[in-house]
């Protein structure tokens, strides 16, 4: 069933059960986001990046658009001052744990973080937050690709796309809090051979955190 709602003074249509983020993006209304996949249902939305804030009539405060289901007659505003302020803070927090070295990054010019920083007009600085980075800079335990924790925004997309291509997921989050990283369960040669032909995680990563070593990038 199709639902009608208003976003930024435009009347748009959305599929019943879809998220506000999905409805706006599919209608050509951009909302900054890093962790969303089109297949995500609002109930399963990770709401990890905290970038997709919007204001919705009837809600006391801005909400993550990925986690709210569309309703008939809903009125959404995606670019208010409060929304932009929250998005800028969320981006700066992400950048406070990020090694910004675009010149040497394989994602340069194709990076979602760069695009969002440009959209919000903030650049890639993290002020007033202090920048804190993880050690080591690169995890090379996987036979095929390298993982750069200081380029990872912990969006979880790689973790969610992996089981769509394998009988079981080879990836998972490991550790907690600031130390959280993407880890992998299975690095035997059979799994590695699968990874060479699959590349789903590398191709869906919004930054340069996963780099195929055999391609000589990084």
Site string (163-202) toward ligand SF4, x via CB under 6 A: -------------------x--------------------
Q: Which of 156, 162, 169, 195 binds ligand SF4 (CB under 6 A)?
A: 156
Q: Which of 152, 162, 170, 195 binds ligand SF4 (CB under 6 A)?
A: 152
CA gyration radius for the chain?
Answer: 18
56 binds ligand SF4 (CB under 6 A): no
Cα of first residue to Cα of last residue in the chain, in angstroms, is 46
Exposure string of 160-190, with b = 16+ CB inside 10 Å and e = fewer, is bbbeeebeebbbeeeeeeeeeebbbeeeeee
Residues 12, 6: Cα–Cα separation, whole Å: 6
87 binds ligand SF4 (CB under 6 A): no
Q: Which of 38, 71, 101, 137 binds ligand SF4 (CB under 6 A)?
A: 101
Residues 167, 150: Cα–Cα separation, whole Å: 29
Q: Which of 76, 91, 205, 211 binds ligand SF4 (CB under 6 A)?
A: 205
66 binds ligand SF4 (CB under 6 A): no
65 binds ligand SF4 (CB under 6 A): no
CA distances from 207 to 2, 97, 111, 170, 211 (A): 34, 14, 5, 20, 10
Helices (H) and strands (E) counted in the chain, each on its own, are 6, 9
157 binds ligand SF4 (CB under 6 A): yes
Q: Which of 49, 94, 107, 126 binds ligand SF4 (CB under 6 A)?
A: 107
Q: How far is the CB of 80 from ligand SF4 (least distance, A)?
A: 26
Q: Which of 114, 122, 169, 212 binds ligand SF4 (CB under 6 A)?
A: 114
113 binds ligand SF4 (CB under 6 A): yes
Residues 112, 90: Cα–Cα separation, whole Å: 14
Question: Contact region for ligand SF4 (CB under 6 A) — 10-18, 24-32, 49-57, 156-164?
Answer: 156-164
């Amino acid at each position: 069933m199709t639902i009608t709602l208003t976003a930024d003074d435009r009347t748009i249509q959305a599929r019943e059960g879809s998220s506000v983020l999905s409805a706006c993006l599919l209608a050509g209304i951009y909302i900054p986001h890093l962790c969303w996949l089109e297949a995500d249902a609002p109930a399963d939305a990770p709401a990890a990046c905290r970038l997709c804030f919007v204001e919705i009539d009837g809600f006391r405060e801005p909400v993550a658009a990925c986690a709210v289901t569309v309703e008939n007659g809903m009125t959404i505003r995606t670019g208010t001052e409060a929304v932009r302020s929250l998005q800028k803070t969320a981006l700066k927090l992400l950048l406070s744990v990020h090694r910004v070295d675009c010149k040497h990054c394989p994602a340069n010019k194709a990076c979602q973080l760069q695009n969002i920083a440009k959209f919000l007009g903030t650049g890639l600085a993290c002020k007033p937050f202090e920048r804190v980075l993880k050690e080591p800079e690169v995890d090379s335990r996987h036979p095929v690709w390298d993982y750069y924790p200081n380029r990872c925004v912990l969006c979880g997309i790689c973790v969610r796309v992996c089981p769509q291509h394998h009988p079981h997921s080879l990836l998972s989050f490991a550790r907690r809090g600031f130390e959280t990283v993407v880890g992998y369960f299975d690095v035997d040669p059979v799994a590695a051979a699968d990874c060479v032909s699959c590349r789903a995680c590398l191709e869906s990563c919004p930054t340069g955190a996963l780099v195929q070593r055999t391609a000589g990038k990084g």
